[in-house]
Chains A and B, each alone.
Chain A
Amino acid sequence: MSMKKIYSVLVENRSGVLSKVAGLFARRCFNIDSLAVGETDSRDVSCMTIVSSGDARTLEQIEKQLNKKLDVIKVKTFTQDKSVSREMMLVKVKYNKNNRKEIMEICDIQKATIVDMSKTVLTILICDEPEKVQLLLESLKVTSIVEVARTGTLALSKCADS
């Protein structure tokens, strides 16, 4: 049975590490649903947040194989309900006077904001739980979407659990 799992991977902030981790997933046929990378509070440590899915054995192997990598400092895993997770998305859509209001309503309901606009297109920003981000994208399909950029999921374990 396929399940989703979030891996929060602390790695040495060195060149080539991202490719080593991504290469591991490719070589062993592990899925990457999303991947987000950034520095942590210490400059020599980066945090990769990887969302993957697979059966129980695969999900366990992902953790073990990540731990085997010498550039990996620590692997924390959690399911979505045990974590606080957010994703950010920018969506550029075409608009006209007929649908402008509808777009603004969608943004309003889904707590998204319009951050940039011209006479024909506008850019919407959302930062929310991954499902809500997906929901916004679905609702915007009534308009004409020009471009989409998403960060992938970022997650930390819930304060009560750490």
Chain B
Amino acid sequence: MIGADAMIKCLELEGVTTVYGYPGVAICPFYNSLLESNIRSILVRTEQSAAHAASGMARTGGIGVCAVTSGPGATNLITGIATAFADSIPLICITGQVNSALLGSDVFQEADITGAAESFVKYSYLVKNADDIPRIFKEAVHIATTGRKGPVLIDVPMDVQNAQIKNFNYPDSVQLRTYKPTVNGNALQIKKVLKALEKAQKPLMCVGGGVLLGGAKKQIKEFAHKHNIPVVSTMMGIGVMETEDPLYFGMVGNNGKPYANKAMNESDLLIMVGARVADRAVNQPDLITKNKVLVHIDVDPAEIGKNAGPTIPIVGEAANIFDEMLAAEVTVSDDAWLNSLSYYREQLTPKREEHPGFVDPEIFLNMLSDKMDSDSIYIADVGQNQIWSCAYVKVKEGSFLTSGGMGTMGYSIPAGIGAKLQNPDKQVIAVCGDGSFQMSMCELATMRQHGVNLKIIVMKNNYLGMVREYQHFTYKDNYSVVNLDGSPDLSKLASAYDMECIVLKDMNKAEEAIDRFLSANEPILMECCVDPMDIVRYQV
């Protein structure tokens, strides 16, 4: 058995089903050994997509693994790794490396990838001895998938991949003296929260992506309903509550619902769960500590107090903490607060201007999500399409995925490929703009090659809409480098990939177009022409 065989064996033992990647000479021993395995390999068309696809898989129930070659293969992967890191998505990223004797001599396709990726990985390894492979892989999976999750990079020189291994022993457990994430919340702190809850007149929960990553969705919903506590979410927390749950008051932040932000400011007890309190969600962190008790629950102790000082911090897994909180009996105040929030929702629901002759994102996305399967997976890209998706898609039991922390354009299609391969029976829909689409349209070939029935919607406006909107407000319509002239005809492009393409020019026939789009059993593209001058910013 050589090192490369051992790498594959480790992945098999971890239950990995799929590896996304792009071979090159330095990772060829690995790909050669992969031929003997039942693990499916998916050839993406650029390395960044390998990480995004693995992310899509990891976020929908699978284990995300990608494997690329050294040098440019590895550096191309970095944006994907950083995207996963910003959203705490567990990934195993394997890179080939030049022979270890040549390390440091700037030979062909050598890049110091562990050094270059250092600030975007939870941990990284440069494997120097093939006998370490089982231990390193075991540790890597453990590190990636526990505590605050994140990508782990394993850089394996070619000679290590080719070296003979005497005994392959896959360890049952890991021995890491430096890594012991806190799992259970401090009982005393939990009691304090419950006490504060009894006192509170205006309790509110703000849920982030950590709730989904920590598998605490069920507990949060149950807790909210048990005590009638209203809930708002960050962008990464969309999908924790069903959109039409009467207790859910939408997304907070710059691009969030005005009534969600009002709820945050007016609450007297704010329970933040698995949220970073970053600038896009909480513009002025000082405000959320003013006149209120701030409870911050997070598995990462460094997040607590980083952007806002909490009154009651709790470190631990949200699922465990809420299991304990659910077990306790507390009396929570009457419905007055809830009623006033419902009133705000009515009063502060922004009215959009009409855009006749174009597809209206609000009406369209409402209609689309009404017709989508209730467990479908919706992936929003980055740009105006993302903000509209956050605002108008109605999530039911399914998932809503997006690149929230890094805001990486081109995320939705490769992530959709990963989500679809992990969930072949579910509807998976990727929604992007014409800018983000062109960043990953090469992956249409990946879909074709591997039979991935992903549904893609392109909100076309011939602009980098989000930047155009910024230039509209900030630079008084002095547009600089945001026009997308030269973009391909999507129908022709689709037919080049032997894909069906529906073009929706306005809201006429939107309903039948959506029906056709959702019922297709093949990869399908839908172009929605939205008003180039449309804006996402709320005008209240």
Q: What residues of chain A have their CB less than 8 Å away from a CB belonging to chain B? A: 12, 16, 19-20, 23, 27, 57, 60-61, 64-65, 67-73
CB < 8 Å neighbour of B179 from A16, A57, A70: A70
Q: Which residue of B lies closest to A69 (CB)?
A: B178
Q: Is the CB of B178 within 8 A of A72?
A: yes
CB within 8 Å of A: which B85-110 residues:
none
CB < 8 Å neighbour of A67 from B122, B176, B302: B302
Q: Is the CB of B177 within 8 A of A73?
A: yes
Binds A, one of B37-45, B66-74, B111-119, B386-394: B111-119
Tell me the complex Cα distance, A23–B129, Å.
26
Q: Is the CB of B301 within 8 A of A64?
A: yes
Tell me the complex Cα distance, A19–B179, Å.
19
Q: Mark B359-388, 1 if CB is under 8 A from A, else 0.
A: 000000000000000000000000000000
Q: Is the CB of B178 within 8 A of A70?
A: yes
Q: Is the CB of B302 within 8 A of A23?
A: no
Q: What residues of chain B have their CB less than 8 Å away from a CB belonging to chain A? A: 114-115, 118-119, 122-123, 126, 143, 176-179, 300-302, 305-306, 309
12 more A-B residue pairs beyond the given contacts A68-B302, A69-B178, with a C-beta to C-beta distance below 8 A:
A19-B115, A20-B118, A23-B118, A61-B306, A64-B301, A64-B305, A64-B306, A67-B301, A68-B301, A70-B122, A73-B177, A73-B178
Residues of B within 8 A of A71 (CB): 178
CB < 8 Å neighbour of B305 from A57, A67, A70: A57
Residues of B within 8 A of A57 (CB): 305, 309
- Given A23-B119, A61-B306, CB of A70 within 8 Å of CB of B176: yes
CB < 8 Å neighbour of A70 from B114, B115, B123, B301: B123
Residues of A within 8 A of B177 (CB): 73
Looking at A16, A23, A57, A68, the one whose CB has the most chain B CB atoms below 10 A away is A68
Residues of B within 8 A of A68 (CB): 300-302
Tell me the complex Cα distance, A53–B122, Å.
26
The 9 closest A-B pairs by CB, nearest first: A64-B302, A70-B123, A73-B178, A27-B119, A68-B302, A70-B179, A70-B178, A65-B302, A64-B301
Tell me the complex Cα distance, A80–B177, Å.
29
Tell me the complex Cα distance, A60–B302, Å.
9
Q: Which residue of A lies closest to B302 (CB)?
A: A64
Q: Is the interface of A mostly helix, strand, loop or mixed?
A: helix
Tell me the complex Cα distance, A19–B124, Å.
13
Tell me the complex Cα distance, A160–B387, Å.
58
Q: Is the CB of B143 within 8 A of A70?
A: yes
Q: Is the CB of A61 within 8 A of B115?
A: no
- Minimal beta-carbon separation of A112 from chain B (angstroms): 40
Tell me the complex Cα distance, A99–B382, Å.
71
Tell me the complex Cα distance, A64–B114, Å.
23
Residues of A within 8 A of B114 (CB): 16
| Interface pairs (26), CB distance under 8 Å | A16-B114, A16-B115, A19-B115, A19-B118, A20-B118, A23-B118, A23-B119, A27-B119, A57-B305, A60-B305, A61-B302, A61-B305, A61-B306, A64-B305, A64-B306, A65-B302, A67-B301, A67-B302, A68-B301, A68-B302, A69-B178, A70-B123, A70-B143, A72-B178, A73-B177, A73-B178
Tell me the complex Cα distance, A72–B180, Å.
12
Residues of B within 8 A of A60 (CB): 305
Residues of A within 8 A of B122 (CB): 70
Tell me the complex Cα distance, A57–B114, Å.
30
Looking at A19, A70, A71, A73, the one whose CB has the most chain B CB atoms below 10 A away is A70
CB < 8 Å neighbour of A12 from B126, B178, B302, B306: B178
Looking at B118, B176, B177, B178, the one whose CB has the most chain A CB atoms below 10 A away is B178
Tell me the complex Cα distance, A20–B120, Å.
12
Q: Which residue of B lies closest to A74 (CB)?
A: B178
Q: Which residue of B lies closest to A70 (CB)?
A: B123
- Minimal beta-carbon separation of A69 from chain B (angstroms): 8
- Minimal beta-carbon separation of A61 from chain B (angstroms): 6
Residues of B within 8 A of A65 (CB): 302
Tell me the complex Cα distance, A61–B286, Å.
17
Looking at B114, B118, B126, the one whose CB has the most chain A CB atoms below 10 A away is B118
- Minimal beta-carbon separation of A27 from chain B (angstroms): 5
Residues of A within 8 A of B305 (CB): 57, 60-61, 64
Q: Which residue of B lies closest to A73 (CB)?
A: B178
Tell me the complex Cα distance, A23–B120, Å.
12
Residues of B within 8 A of A61 (CB): 302, 305-306
Q: Which residue of A lies closest to B309 (CB)?
A: A57
- Minimal beta-carbon separation of B157 from chain A (angstroms): 14
Tell me the complex Cα distance, A61–B212, Å.
25
Tell me the complex Cα distance, A72–B206, Å.
32
- Minimal beta-carbon separation of B263 from chain A (angstroms): 27
Q: Which residue of B lies closest to A64 (CB)?
A: B302
Residues of B within 8 A of A23 (CB): 118-119
Tell me the complex Cα distance, A75–B305, Å.
18
Tell me the complex Cα distance, A50–B119, Å.
20
- Minimal beta-carbon separation of A19 from chain B (angstroms): 7
Tell me the complex Cα distance, A27–B117, Å.
13
Residues of A within 8 A of B302 (CB): 61, 64-65, 67-68
Q: Which residue of A lies closest to B115 (CB)?
A: A19
Q: Which residue of B lies closest to A60 (CB)?
A: B305
- Minimal beta-carbon separation of A160 from chain B (angstroms): 28
Q: Which residue of B lies closest to A27 (CB)?
A: B119
Residues of A within 8 A of B178 (CB): 12, 69-73
- Minimal beta-carbon separation of B220 from chain A (angstroms): 25
Residues of B within 8 A of A12 (CB): 178
- Minimal beta-carbon separation of A122 from chain B (angstroms): 40
Tell me the complex Cα distance, A71–B177, Å.
9
Tell me the complex Cα distance, A59–B14, Å.
39
Q: Which residue of B lies closest to A20 (CB)?
A: B118
- Minimal beta-carbon separation of B314 from chain A (angstroms): 15
- Minimal beta-carbon separation of B77 from chain A (angstroms): 19
